[in-house]
Structure 1
Amino acid sequence: MKIILTIINFVFLSILVTSCQHSNTIKPSVSKISHQPEVIDKSCRDGNAKLYDECNNQIQILQKAVQQASNENKNVIVVYGGEWCIWCHVLDKYFHGQFRTFDYKWRDSSGDIFEWLMNETVTQTEIDDAIALNQFVADNFVVAHIESEYTNGRDAIDSTGFDSSNIYYYPYIFVLNEQGQYVSSMPSTDAIENFEIRESGGEEYRGYNRKILLEQLKKLKIDTNNE
């Protein structure tokens, strides 16, 4: 009888440990990202915007981000784009440490609403990379989503000392110094070898190589420190 109970206890503990390990793999902790705008008004346009405020003053949004960054001892990283930009939504998910399953809903440039459920095949190393990326963004940046199509987004960009007429790809990603002035930009993601990922597990996909993305963000941070 004692032998049977010992075996049962051993099996139970094995299941419990395996379950805990599996849980830690599936749901690692992520850090909160500071961002502006903090809230999107659902009464703005069709109410489907997720990241970009398409109705309000972008200069004021940027100024709030600069003030928040000052309060939190961080730098502003600007992601200039729009709701139509699927890669802008992908970048935001990656900043937040998401992996494996991505459920996107966005409005394209024609005004049509699209939904795309993407599944990513990941290893534990890639999950660790997702958490490391999220932690670095959370520790170092306030993310400012500046809208390019319906608002004064270009005026907001120009206010940083950078000429918005030089922007020819999206998302356009750059960092500001403590005074809210332009420091440096990330190259176009499709110009960096092996940066963009367009297939996972044999299925069409949109994503980034997280190691490369983290390297690029670290370069931007170093540029701000050298100001």
Structure 2
Amino acid sequence: MKKLFILLTAVLISTVTFGQSKTAGVHIYNPEANAMADLKAATQKAAKENKHVLVQVGGNWCSWCIAFHQLVDSNAVLKKTINDYYEYVLVNWDKEHHNDEAMKYLGFPNRFGYPVFVVLDGKGKVLHIENSAYLETDEVDANGKKKVGHDVKKITSFLKGWTVAAVDPDTYKPKAK
């Protein structure tokens, strides 16, 4: 029994250490940022540039949040799509910084886990909340196990589905002949 307890303790410690080491030193979210001011500034800029706001809610503790952000940084298609159609804002949520006012304003998107994405229009209205689980890859590796990560095609489809043009009813009116 004592050996089992020691073994389980060792496994738990190594798991926690490994989990933290993946995100240790990575700081894409600013816990001290004024989320509401950032959202307001992004909304104003989006309105001027005829864009929407893409909000990524998460934290530096979240390996999936960091992986998504790194995927966007390393993928030219995703980076261009976001830059062309959105103002991109990262809103931090962690144990010390809940950003309660921002979470309420965004419709409590954290109910879906992290990262979670919110699309706002140029007036600051929440258009859509996207659970990032729907953006995960369906690919399997050579051993038949599901790969971990997000799917570029799914993300691109999501992003293009919430652009200003995509939600504008005039986009779908028949063209005059």
Name the TM tier (shorter chain).
0.5 to 0.7
- Three-state SS of the structure 2 residue aligned to 1:55 is coil
Partner residue of 1:73? 50
Map of 2:116 onto structure 1: 172
Instruction: Report the Cα offset of residue 143 of structure 1.
Output: 1.1
Change (3 A) 1:88 1:197: farther
Unaligned runs of 5+ in 1: 1-47, 99-129
| Match in the other structure for 1:55 | 32
Larger radius of gyration: 1
Q: Normalized per residue, which structure has more helix?
A: 2
Q: Could you list the runs of 5+ residues in structure 2 that have no partner in the other structure? A: 1-24, 170-177
How far apart in 2 are the matches of 1:206 and 1:180?
33
Deviations 1:50-101 (CA, angstroms, capped at 9, x unpaired): 22111232111211221232333321101111111111112212222x1xxx
Letter matched to residue 134 of structure 1: K
Among 135, 149, 158, the residue aligned to 1:207 = 149
1:158 is the counterpart of 2:135: no
Q: Could you state the TM-score of these two structures normalised by the residue count of structure 2? A: 0.66
Contact map agreement 1:174 1:184 (CA 8 A) in 2: yes
Structure 2 distance, partners of 1:174, 1:223, is: 16
Whole-angstrom CA distance in 2 between matches of 1:172 and 1:62: 15
Matched, 1:138 2:83: yes
* Matched residue SS, 2:91: strand
| Maintained 8 Å contact 2:137/2:147 | no
**Aligned with 2:149: secondary structure?**
strand
Between Structure 1 and Structure 2, the one with more strand by share is: 1
Q: What RMSD, in angstroms, separates the aligned Cα atoms of the two structures?
A: 3.1
How many equivalent pairs are there? 144
The alignment partner of 1:138 has SS state of helix
**TM-score, normalised to structure 1's length?**
0.53
Contact 1:57 1:151 in 2 (8 A): no
